[in-house]
Amino acid sequence: MAQISLTFPDGNSRRYEAGVTASAVATDISVSLGKKAISATVNGAHWDLAWPIESDAAISIHTMRDDEQALELVRHDLAHVMARAVQEIWPDVKVTIGPVIEHGWYYDFDREEHFTPDDLGSIEARMKEIINARDPVHTEVWDRERALQHYRDNDEPYKVELVDAIPGTDPIRMYWHGHWQDLCRGPHLQHTGQLPADGFRLTSIAGAYWRGDSNREMLQRIYGVAFKNRDGLKQHLQMLEEAAKRDHRRIGREMRLFHMQEEAPGQVFWHPNGWTIYTTLQDYMRRRQHAGGYEEVNTPQIVARKLWEESGHWDKFQEHIFTLDVNEEHAQEKAVNALKPMNCPCHVQIFNQGIKSYRDLPLRIAEFGSCSRYEPSGALHGIMRVRGFTQDDGHIFCREDQIESETARYIEFLSNIYADLGFPEFKVKFADRPEVRAGTDKTWDRAEEALLHATRAAGIEPEMNPGEGAFYGPKLEFVLTDAIGRDWQCGTHQVDFVLPERLNATYVGEDGSRHRPVMLHRAALGSFERFIGILIESSEGRLPFWLAPCQAVVASITSDTNEHADRIVAELVSAGVRAEPDIRNEKISYKVREHSVGKVPVILAVGHREVAEGTVSVRRLGSKATETRSLAEAVRELASEALPPDLRRDDEMRSKDGTA
């Protein structure tokens, strides 16, 4: 029998017979490790303990202490255990697929009757029985015809379709959890007893079309969350409770910001308060982009299909594109146009107007581009996931030797913006080539090397996010963490050699010949809609003073101070504060409660004493204490707070220079 060498993380190696399993290797190291092992990594691939190793390899053995591998396996195995439990309780149910998702998993079922919340309790109880039984998990490799016949014999039509859809002719892997079997590429745990019986919870039931096709069967999807132990689950459930309190849809209603309705699915009806947030944020971004050397442009929302075909979006992105058939005069057939799903091909058209010289580069253009993308109705979520949105989109056309300086410049630009918006720290991920992409491997090698080098030169070592690049180039993803620990990928920075080639963008180089520019795609906020939703949830509606739609309410304590309250409002508005009066015939305690629910940052109360003394009683949102301040002092302080951060800095600099 041939011998192979396995090298461990500490650099030591051992020799084994070819075909040895990771389970045998773990037991050879120590009996204790053999029992605790859950999986291995072999030459960088996540490896089932039962899979044979046929050649020399680097290997590491994982236990439940290894968070990344442990959580993936726990959630994957629980998906199988849940499907087994469902079919044991309701044998007529057909199973489909059950992938791991963030924090847990889901599995889709075909069942005539609807699952109920009570059913989730029954399924959980049966799952715990399966876990406590410590049933062995084992795997076999079958040829396709055997797998197809197995699923036909067991009346599992969805599994038949899945096997038929697997490309190639290689045999496929089958897994058993006890007596229950599923088609799966693995890896999995050694036995069901390795699952934490107190570390999971079934959370919800939803509808889902088979394979995401609205013309196919409607299935029932059961979601679950799972962690390595009870404490992890408890923390997550507490986070979910906190997230529910911060739900931007509920807060949006309380603050009268926006609404959605079925006549315009996935599109936002902005109310005055919400539109004030939107335009204040947009004005801030406009100033920052102008200061950052960007020229603002605007491009059409409806563009002919021909451009999307030339750019490659039609082939790679067609399912998300809304199309319009237009009967053009004198045309023999209808013209197919599209609502633009992104702005980049249109920005290349602006670049292509006239001759560009190397002296014109880098050319930075930006647009608050209104885009439309088809998202399945089940994926829509308030203003966080919509069909109509506006991006703070920008593109930098530059020479290849300018990628490094422009990347560093953009990271600094974005860092300052995030700090102003309450996110002084963020993570950076490097997303490389996806499976479906445009351009040659040679072009991708060049683009990935350039972006990674530029990122490291800017002093950042990014996390790797394999396969998540755009179809035309690798990208940096800028990930914010909100007040309750959730991550949100917002900003991007992408290096693109493909679109300039496809859309024939050129500039005249120093040598007098034509060259292709590099196109850097960038967005700081992403979509305004989603970013505002993130701000609302992270702050629980208590937005920074400069962004609050109503910054101050002047509330009269008695009706004979109403006119004085109106005069204070006028003075605040004149000083640049968004202020409103509340002179209703209500008790001051009622007014304070109502405006606190509406997340108004400051309430100024005025009664007889305040009128006589020229003061106001100031109450800040979240505080039960009030301060008595002179009216002039209160107006001056609130006017300063009302300035957006960039204008406040300018104002402070002018004051220091004595030019104010």
Q: Report d(CA 525, CA 165) in Å as an integer.
A: 38
Predicted local distance difference test score (pLDDT) of residue 646: 94
Half-sphere exposure of 603 (CA within 13 A, CB side): 26
Specify whether 399 is catalytic: no
Q: Report d(CA 507, CA 516) in Å as an integer.
A: 6
Specify whether 373 is catalytic: yes
Q: Report d(CA 234, CA 227) in Å as an integer.
A: 9
Specify whether 582 is catalytic: no
Closest CA to 86 of 116, 120, 114: 120
Residue 71, φ and ψ in degrees, nearest 5:
-65, -40
Instruction: Exactly one of 77, 119, 393, 582 is catalytic; name it.
Output: 393
Predicted local distance difference test score (pLDDT) of residue 659: 58
Predicted local distance difference test score (pLDDT) of residue 336: 86
Kind of pairing between the strands at 3-7 and 57-62: parallel
Half-sphere exposure of 12 (CA within 13 A, CB side): 3
Containing H/E element for 388? strand 388-398
Q: Which residue ranges of the chain lie beneath pLDDT 70?
A: 1, 328-333, 658-660
CB 431 within 8 A of CB 475: yes
Q: Report d(CA 243, CA 526) in Å as an integer.
A: 21
Instruction: Exactly one of 395, 599, 619, 629 is catalytic; name it.
Output: 395
Peptide bond between residue 362 and the one before it cis (omega within 30 degrees of 0): yes
Kind of pairing between the strands at 514-515 and 100-101: unpaired
Closest CA to 387 of 375, 376, 377: 375
- Extract the tokens encoding 114: 């609807």
Q: How many CB atoms are closer than 10 A to CB 258?
A: 23
419: three-class secondary structure by DSSP = helix
Q: Report d(CA 417, CA 415) in Å as an integer.
A: 5
Q: How far is CA 477 from the centre of its chain?
A: 10
| CB-neighbour burial class of residue 512 (10 A; exposed 0-12, middle 13-18, buried 19+) | exposed
Specify whether 475 is catalytic: yes
β-partners of residue 107 are: 222
Predicted local distance difference test score (pLDDT) of residue 658: 67
- Extract the tokens encoding 382: 């308030």
Counting runs of H as helices and runs of E as strands, what totals does the chain give?
Answer: 21, 35
| CB-neighbour burial class of residue 177 (10 A; exposed 0-12, middle 13-18, buried 19+) | buried
Instruction: Exactly one of 194, 220, 289, 391 is catalytic; name it.
Output: 391
Q: Report d(CA 313, CA 330) in Å as an integer.
A: 28
Contacts of 586 (CB under 8 A, 6+ apart): none
Residue where the block lists tokens 């058993």: 176
Instruction: Exactly one of 373, 493, 564, 595 is catalytic; name it.
Output: 373
Instruction: Exactly one of 48, 246, 344, 564 is catalytic; name it.
Output: 344
Contacts of 650 (CB under 8 A, 6+ apart): none
Kind of pairing between the strands at 579-582 and 552-556: parallel
CB 246 within 8 A of CB 255: no
Q: Report d(CA 508, CA 493) in Å as an integer.
A: 25
| CB-neighbour burial class of residue 595 (10 A; exposed 0-12, middle 13-18, buried 19+) | buried
Specify whether 371 is catalytic: no
Residue where the block lists tokens 């009216």: 631
Predicted local distance difference test score (pLDDT) of residue 102: 87
Q: Report d(CA 548, CA 536) in Å as an integer.
A: 10
Q: Report d(CA 196, CA 211) in Å as an integer.
A: 30
Instruction: Exactly one of 246, 475, 502, 591 is catalytic; name it.
Output: 475
Q: Report d(CA 472, CA 496) in Å as an integer.
A: 6
Q: Report d(CA 75, CA 30) in Å as an integer.
A: 27
Closest CA to 78 of 157, 193, 160: 193
293: three-class secondary structure by DSSP = coil
Predicted local distance difference test score (pLDDT) of residue 329: 65
**HEC secondary structure over 183-252:** ECCCCCCCEHHHCCCCCEEEEEEEEEEHHHCCCCCEEEEEEEEECCCHHHHHHHHHHHHHHHHCCHHHHH
Output the CA–CA distances (angstroms, integers) from residue 466 to 75, 446, 456, 460, 498, in the order listed.
21, 16, 17, 18, 19
- Extract the tokens encoding 293: 């050397």
CB 460 within 8 A of CB 410: no
Instruction: Exactly one of 521, 522, 564, 595 is catalytic; name it.
Output: 521
Q: Report d(CA 278, CA 287) in Å as an integer.
A: 14
Q: Report d(CA 373, CA 167) in Å as an integer.
A: 29
Q: Report d(CA 602, CA 623) in Å as an integer.
A: 10
Predicted local distance difference test score (pLDDT) of residue 542: 96
